[in-house]
Chains A and B, each alone.
Chain A
Amino acid sequence: MKKYINRIYMALILIFMYAPILTMIVLSFNASKTRSRWGGFSLKWYTALFSNTDIMQALYNTLIIALLAAIISTILGTMAAIGIGSMKKKIQSVFSAITNIPMLNGEIVMGISLMLLFILVRMNLGFSTILMSHITFDIPYVILSVMPKIKQYPKSTYEAALDLGASPLQSFFKVVFPDIMPGVLSGFLLAFTMSLDDFVITYFTKGPGIDTLSTKIYSEVRKGIKPEMYALSTLLFVTVFFLLILINQNPAEKEKRVKQYSVIRVICKRVLPAAIIVLIAGGGIYYHGTGGISTKDQIVVYNWGEYIDPDVPKNFEKETGIHVVYEEFETNEIMYPKIQSGAVAYDLVCPSDYMIDKMIQNDLLDKIDWSKIPNASNIGRTYFEKSREFDPYNEYSLPYCWGTLGIIYNKSMVKSPVNSWNILWDPEYKNNILMQDSVRDAFTVALKLAGHSVNSSDPKQLERAEKLLESEKPLVQSYSVDQIRDKMIGGEAALGVTFSGEFLYMQRENPDLDFVLPKEGSNVWIDSWVIPKNAKHKKNAQEFLNYLCRPDVALKNFEYITYATPNTAARELIEDSDIRDNPILFPKDSDLKNSETYRYLGRKTEELYAKLWREVKSS
């Protein structure tokens, strides 16, 4: 009876542990691109996976970093454990306190403190900084695994070996080491696992052009995880699972028929691990060579996630031989300190209007030499005129995408007419509303509803907006930036606050969705390319800008990102007139009379916005 209870209990916990993994496996066979819809059984993501060099590269980066970090930290950690074991009690306790810090310190504190260190010593964020950070948080796990074995180990055995004439080195490797081996091995395994699974620390210490699986996945959340990722996880899971079974069967056979199976044992214990290491290392070198850093001419581009057709940089590279190192950011605010600190020398960055304002004010940008960008004439004049609000003489910025902030809604779920921000306060849609999780956009909704400017810095108006947002909170299902798209397509919510450019993609996936620009007005934004002062390849950057302004390239980009392009020549090339003259994507000036562009409001006001937003979120 007790045995059954035990078994049922274990089974329940295993179901709990493996339910999400099962979900991932099922999703890898889903023909539909979004995870919220089942589009039938398909194997296409498995074939797509192997031709997706980005994911494969991220996989190899992940494995190589995990392996190198585990090996180095195992060596350093084992040595340290032996050393600490023979120290005096007092120094020992100091060491073990320091060793505990990386394990107990929140990952976020660790990640940030390491990032600050690397920025301070002007180290380029990249492969080496990730590796060093991983070694740092891996070592304590090794020490803690080896330490108990060393403490258990009787010193007399080692002394006996010395007495019998072995050298200290000999007696260590022949006598002591085999006994502490299990601790070393489990330390290695633990270090490897922790490094494989890390996201937060990698996220803060990585630089452009390098991604591990974690950071790759995180940047994909915005447009929905690519199903190839699920296919990859399924393959990894199956591989590891079979390896486990294989390794586990080994010891049982050992006792029965040692001689017969010795070949298998050799294969399992030596050949297999060696093969895996060679495979990882070889593959890493291969992919590193094809996609990684090279000595050729290059530019370092820092852009929003999913904000360029991946073929565009590749084609540019083919045409000009200039290699494009590409890095993505999610918010203007995470991009800004990286530029300000000069931790990475980016050649091209694509911030929004108010951030460009801030960057110009803080003297972080270089003037663009327009004579080098003849194709800039393809950009509509009105967009340059609008840019003057933040770039008064059109010296620093080249418009790339523009749009508005509005409401996306599901026609089958919303019965009343949608034309005002007001509907987001309608109790009928409790738990059916998705709000933008960014300070300025959330405040735009409330400020406009109350009839104020989106650039208000009047504390009274802002507090009023804060009260409004607070009263909306009980109705809100979630605050997000990344996931509004997925959730609206999947019919998870009736109303969402999002950008006009999202509409085209969402409506293709779910025809019930429609977009409206509320009558109170909203925010009109422009994202533009700028060249930072510390850019190393300004000439190449301008060549790339010229390439991006070519009508055919701009059209290709538009079709991929679906955000309105300011490139009028490209817009004329759009064949479908429903899209070309779409009032949502390309609103007329008369529709925008209540809408404003964001301006940089200064540090004090920025802090006030942030504080009020935190009050909303924690209310």
Chain B
Amino acid sequence: MKNKRKWLAAPYGIWAAGFIVIPLIIILYYAFVSPETSKFTMSNFAMAFSPENIKSLVLALLLSLISTVICLLLAYPLAVILSKKEVNQSSFIVLVFILPMWMNFLLRTLAWQTLLERNGVINGILAFFHLHRLNLINTPFAIILGMVYNFLPFMVLPIYNVLLKMDPSIVEAAQDLGADTLLVYKKIMVPLSIPGIVSGITMVFIPSMTTFVISDLLGGSKYLLIGNVIEQEFKQTSNWNAGSALSAILMIFIFASMFFLNKYDKDGEGTLF
């Protein structure tokens, strides 16, 4: 029986080979081939590792790391609060956090523009109270805000799901044995929610790292992230080979985080829903 059942995965296996594995091989092919002669070359990678590209890679790493940390700091307490709600109420509240995702991603980001602009809503409110106007838009701050805003649900939900599955009696037992709140978090809550945290970190870090829309719309294109560089190689300079080489470099980071994820979240407990 068992042998037969595994064939249920066959359609997906074929699909994954065709639409996940082969496209990745195509990208690698483009990355190692010269645009003029279609012969093997490393020149695309030499180009990809130019100082200005490394700068954008480092900037992307930095901004997405900061966003991930902020997301984690915001999301963990929220997930704890949510997980203590009654079952019925909590499912509603969780949906409330998913609801913004049903509004279009671009419109939401553009709405932030309206909020942050020099003559925007926030500065309008500040001016009303005779406070000094802030220079918010087109700064790294605005980009980080955009990342945190767009990807926060991906941090909240996995942590919430892990906390929900946690047996409350473990915490009670610790408290009975004399542990204070801090110790309970340190020894029980956080270690047990590691799968959710790790899954949340990857789900926030990777999209922040590769985004180009957020840095375009909220950063005024003044801050070139690695996603912008790749997008420009494909869209503005039509140099697909250099773009592929950059994508291939980006994949290294992706595989590293996959390894990280597999190590800490073996059973896929840190799911989104």
Contacts and interface: CB of A to CB of B under 8 A. Distances in A.
A217 B97 CA distance: 23
A186 B273 contact: yes
A83 B111 contact: no
A225 B237 contact: no
Contact of B11 (A79, A186, A251): A79
Contacts of A225: 107, 110
B234 A83 contact: no
Interface stretch (B166-174, B186-194, B256-264): B256-264
B1 A168 contact: yes
A135 B258 contact: no
Given A18-B100, A100-B258, A136 B19 contact: yes
Best-buried of B11, B108, B110, B149 by chain A (most CB within 10 Å): B110
Contacts of B41: none
Greatest chain B CB density within 10 A among A36, A330, A333 is at A333
B251 interface: yes
A236 B106 contact: no
B102 A99 contact: no
Contacts of A477: 138, 220
Interface string B7-22: 1111111011001111
A221 B232 CA distance: 18
Contacts of A437: 221
A48 interface: no
Contacts of B237: 333, 439, 606-607, 610
B99 A84 contact: no
A285 B121 CA distance: 41
A151 B50 CA distance: 47
B114 interface: yes
B92 A491 contact: no
B10 A83 contact: yes
B88 A251 contact: yes
A interface, over-half SS: helix
A163 B22 CA distance: 44
Contact of A136 (B1, B20, B227, B251): B20
Interface stretch (A104-112, A370-378, A387-395, A522-530): A104-112
B206 A113 contact: no
B7 A83 contact: yes
A250 B242 CA distance: 55
Instruction: Give the residue among B53, B92, B105, B257 with the most A Cβ atoms within 10 A.
Output: B105
A16 to B, nearest CB: 7
Contact of A80 (B9, B221, B267): B9
**Which 10 A/B pairs are nearest by Cβ-Cβ distance?**
A478-B220, A83-B9, A106-B210, A113-B23, A80-B12, A20-B111, A186-B273, A83-B8, A479-B221, A610-B237
11 contacts: A9-B78, A83-B9, A97-B262, A104-B261, A105-B206, A106-B254, A237-B99, A237-B103, A478-B221, A490-B117, A614-B52
Interface of A: 6, 9-10, 13-14, 16-21, 23-24, 27, 35-36, 76-77, 79-84, 86-87, 93, 95-110, 112-114, 116-117, 120, 132-133, 135-136, 139, 141, 143-145, 147-148, 151, 168, 186-187, 189-190, 193, 196-197, 199-200, 213-214, 217-218, 221, 225, 229-230, 233, 236-237, 240-241, 244, 248, 251-252, 330-331, 333-334, 336-337, 431, 437-439, 473, 476-480, 490-492, 603, 606-607, 610-611, 614-615, 617-619
Given A24-B108, A473-B222, A477-B138, 9 more contacts: A9-B81, A27-B111, A112-B27, A148-B271, A214-B106, A217-B107, A437-B221, A614-B52, A617-B222
Interface of B: 1-2, 5-13, 15-16, 19-24, 26-27, 30, 35-36, 50, 52-53, 55-56, 59, 74, 77-78, 81, 88, 91-92, 95-112, 114-115, 117-119, 121, 135, 137-138, 149, 152, 202-203, 206-207, 209-210, 212-213, 219-222, 224, 227-232, 234-240, 243-244, 247, 250-251, 254, 257-258, 261-262, 267-269, 271-273
